[in-house]
Amino acid sequence: MRFLLDDEQREFGRTLGRMLAAADTPAAVRAWGAGDRGPGRAVWRRLGEAGVFGLAVPEKYGGSGFLPVELVVAYVEAGRHAVPGPLVETAAAAVLLDRLGDAGLTGGRLPAVTAEDWLPAVAAGDAMVSYADLARGPYALDAEAADATFAVRGDTLWRPGRGGAAQPSVDPARLLSRCAVDGGDVLASGPAVRDAAAYAADTARLLTAAQALGVGRRLLDDTVAYVGQRTQFGVVIGSFQAVKHRLADVLVALEFAGPLVLGAAVELAGGTADDGEGPAGAGTGIAMAKVAAGEAAYAAARAALQLHGALGYTDELDLSLWIRKARALRGAWGTPAECRARVLASPAPGR
């Protein structure tokens, strides 16, 4: 299969890139980690105005329809600029609520809390929503800052009570809070919740992979620029073979991961029934993309740390924001081992 972004999709990515470059996202990340959500929310609203969150919301709720390829384009740029907040979780929650729909929310005690209540605000960038799959752990990303949190445990959808204080995190743009469903409200239950949650998890895994891809590309770009300026023994260190080979390995890994991420988005958009996993059947391709992008970004972070002479450990250098994010995204919504296991468990083609 030969797949390329069209001119409109490429221009969408370039426009977002220019907008985020002007938004001083490193300052927003540092403020976010210190508990000041204002700068991060400002970036969030600009993404909403650009239509990013509407790409996960159907037209009937004010969005553009569920467009995974365009979402990937946007989330790559979000990763490249280290945008803080529950970006992935907001899109996953939108997908979950849409697939359940108003008719699906019949098993709980809060009929007023429906897709119609939240999806228009999500599409406009007015609502920041977190989502937790409690089978993966008791924490929700940025629940303390979110306007609403949704959580699934088994086949039950919850609106948890207010979570505890945000926990210290390796990535200051990703703060976790314990998600306490005991004492929360049940919104729906039954097999439809389990199916919708599986689809939302696949969406979250894909968009995490897209963010990781953007993080890796940013780390590579910054490192290439640095080794082209820093000198040792009278020459720039980028002229050394060992440095060239290290960066070439990172480039190859990122170039390999990119088509996998886009290919998985195409599968998710088309609902290709490739393996019978979940409603979309795109789970295997998404798992492959997650492994490739996460490992490529992690390799980029390790190379950046070494070739900057370990300066990436220092909080003062913006590079540390991307190095930490690469490590966090590698394990978010599926560790490499979990994703590899899913690929190995899928039926072989033609079997």
* CATH number for 295: 1.20.140.10
More confident of the two residues 261 and 162 = 261
pLDDT digits (tens, 9 = 90+) for 59-112: 999 999 999 999 999 999 999 999 999 999 999 999 999 988 755 555 544 444
Check: pTM over 0.95? Answer yes or no: no
- The confidence score (pLDDT) of residue 182 equals 74
Residue 293, domain member (yes or no): yes
SS3 category, 237: helix
Q: Inform me whether the pLDDT recorded for 348 exceeds 80.
A: no
Contacts of 223 (CB under 8 A, 6+ apart): 247, 250, 300, 303, 304, 307, 308
pLDDT digits (tens, 9 = 90+) for 263-321: 999 999 886 544 444 444 688 999 999 999 999 999 999 999 999 987 777 888 899 99
Residue 291, domain member (yes or no): yes
More confident of the two residues 4 and 351 = 4
What rounded mean pLDDT belongs to the chain? 89
Q: Inform me whether the pLDDT recorded for 153 exceeds 70.
A: yes
Domains held by the chain: number = 1
Residue 307, domain member (yes or no): yes
Residue 129, domain member (yes or no): no
Residue 42, domain member (yes or no): no
**Beta pairing class for 231-232 and 156-159:** unpaired
Residue 245, domain member (yes or no): yes
Residue 62, domain member (yes or no): no
Instruction: Please give the structure tokens belonging to residue 130.
Output: 């977190």
Length of the chain (residues): 351
SS3 category, 271: coil
More confident of the two residues 91 and 159 = 91
Instruction: Kindly state the average pLDDT of the residues 251-259.
Output: 97
Q: In which domain, by residue range, is 281 found?
A: 193-345
Instruction: Please give the structure tokens belonging to residue 343.
Output: 């690929």
Residue 322, domain member (yes or no): yes
| pLDDT class of 256 with cuts at 50, 70, 90 | very high
